[in-house]
Structure 1
Amino acid sequence: MRVVSLVPSLTEAVAVSAPGALVGATDWCSHPAGLDVVRVGGTKNPDVERITALAPDLVVANEEENREPDLTALRDAGLEVLVTEVRDVPGAFRELERVLAACGARGRPRWLDEAEEAWLDPPSPAVRLRAAVPVWRRPWMVLGRDTFAGDVLARMGVDNAYAAHAERYPRVSADELRAADLDLVVLPDEPYRFTRDDGPEEFPGVPCALVDGRHLTWYGPSLAQAPDVLARALRAAVR
């Protein structure tokens, strides 16, 4: 089995669960450490010719991270493309099972059992918090409706202030965010790399939780550690 992955979290899942199957991945696929495969460009601009030259049996992609014109070009080149759709935690587990089976994984990996167990009763604050979750700056963009990361936080007692927005990733001004009556602002380090010096200064008086984007937005082996990692970050912000 020869697999090319265009999704960093799926790259990690396939690499650790079906050793030897992965032959190509994007430039953004950073896990597992030391991954030695052909790099095929970005998630939004994959090199179709390079992927085709690898002669994969399967290309794994995601409807949000990858663009339909690129996926169509891969199909037109005669490649099989499996496209995942992940909008919540249960959906992540279903899609991971589907991807790993298609990639030839032998049996159910232990990390997937551990991840499902971790999400049965994730830690949460004593009182639910209302938060905004910026994912970009200049312009400011936040999580809106129907997102995986929004569901992750909701299961941990943090309600997305923009969960009912018509858009999934609405643009909002910093002034609007400051006026949104928030208990918390959650600032991940990807796709925009928010840091202590880049982001929190816009929200004086509002606690800001700097979180690992991999544990907030990736659906793969990191799901097993995500509840504890995120809970520590949230507690540090609101204590």
Structure 2
Amino acid sequence: MRVVSLVPSLTELLYHLGVDVVGITKFCVHPEEWYRTKPRVGGTKNPDINRIKELKPDLILANKEENRKEDVEQLRQFSQVLVTNITTINDALEAIRLIGRVCNVVQAAEKLVHSIIELWKPLQGSADGARVLYLIWRKPYMAAGTDTYIHHVLQHLGFSNAVNQSRYPVVDEKSIRLMNPELIFLSSEPYPFREKHLAEFQGMAPTAHVRLVDGEAFSWYGYRMIPAASYFYLLIHDINEMKR
């Protein structure tokens, strides 16, 4: 089967399920081996349709949030396109199972799902209800709200999302102050927050603990949920120690 992946987290998933690909996006950085060697077909929001067609795919993997509907419609004119829609942890597990069936790697998919469930089980509720503002963008400031995968990961870990709006609302300095979060998480992606940004948000919420977090752990579903578990364990341990 000739597969093109337009979703970075699913590209990594395919690799660990043992499914080869003939094309990936420029944002598919894992695994590094594929990033260096596989044909690239543009970005997630602006794929090179003609280049993809030249690769003669039997299956194209896309995602409702990461890819555009108009691109998917064009791709469906010459290939099967599987569009995932992942907003919960259960959605992520079911997507692994679905891709396992479609790509004929059911056993590998079930094994991965079982491993994720076992690793994530002890993490449930371990953050003890701390109120978190999770920021994904700067200028304008954008946060992860409800009805997002990030929100459900926060919930599973035991954090309380300081944002009660859906999807990814724009927030400003005044609303951040009113939220009065205990923690502000600055994600490494899609906006690459760095150490230099910590003081900017500390000034808006002087009592909050502001820290950089691994955006891949919080927003990449699929195989990335395996290393994410150990990252979350260390993160929550560090936060709980800080609160003592």
TM superposition score normalised by structure 2: 0.90
Match of 2:18 in 1: 18
- Local SS of the residue matching 2:13: helix
Match of 1:197 in 2: 196
Match of 1:117 in 2: 118
Q: What is the alpha-carbon distance in structure 1 between the residues aligned to residue 127 and residue 171 of structure 2?
A: 29
> What does the per-residue CA deviation read over 1:177-222, in whole Å, with 9 as the maximum and x for residues that have no partner?
1331111111110001112212453223310232111111001111
Q: What is the alpha-carbon distance in structure 2 between the residues aligned to residue 122 and residue 235 of structure 1?
A: 11
Quick check: 1:191–1:213 contact (8 Å CA) kept in 2?
yes
Q: What's the offset of the Cα at 1:145?
A: 1.6
- Local SS of the residue matching 1:133: strand
Q: What is the alpha-carbon distance in structure 1 between the residues aligned to residue 198 and residue 217 of structure 2?
A: 19
Match of 1:94 in 2: 94
Match of 2:80 in 1: 80
- Local SS of the residue matching 1:22: coil
Pair 1:215 & 2:217 matched: yes
Q: What's the offset of the Cα at 1:125?
A: 4.1
What are the within-5 Å matches in structure 2 for residues 154-193 of structure 1?
Answer: 154-162=155-163, 164-165=164-165, 167-193=166-192
Quick check: 1:40–1:47 contact (8 Å CA) kept in 2?
yes
Aligned length: 235
Q: What is the alpha-carbon distance in structure 1 between the residues aligned to residue 185 and residue 169 of structure 2?
A: 16
User: Match of 1:97, as an amino acid?
Assistant: R
Distance 1:153 1:237, change over 3 A: same
Q: Equivalent pairs: percent with the same residue?
A: 36
Distance 1:123 1:229, change over 3 A: farther
Greater Cα offset, 104-113 or 125-134: 104-113
Quick check: 1:18–1:106 contact (8 Å CA) kept in 2?
no
Quick check: 1:123–1:231 contact (8 Å CA) kept in 2?
no
Q: What is the alpha-carbon distance in structure 2 between the residues aligned to residue 41 and residue 112 of structure 1?
A: 30
Distance 1:161 1:126, change over 3 A: closer
Q: What is the alpha-carbon distance in structure 2 between the residues aligned to residue 97 and residue 123 of structure 1?
A: 22
Q: What's the offset of the Cα at 1:131?
A: 0.9
Q: What is the alpha-carbon distance in structure 2 between the residues aligned to residue 178 and residue 195 of structure 1?
A: 21
| Greater fraction of residues in helix | 2
Greater Cα offset, 90-99 or 176-185: 176-185
Unaligned runs of 5+ in 1: none
Quick check: 1:127–1:157 contact (8 Å CA) kept in 2?
yes
Q: What is the alpha-carbon distance in structure 1 between the residues aligned to residue 67 and residue 149 of structure 2?
A: 16
User: Match of 1:206, as an amino acid?
Assistant: A
Q: What's the offset of the Cα at 1:10?
A: 0.3
Unaligned runs of 5+ in 2: none
What are the within-5 Å matches in structure 2 for residues 145-156 of structure 1?
Answer: 145-156=146-157
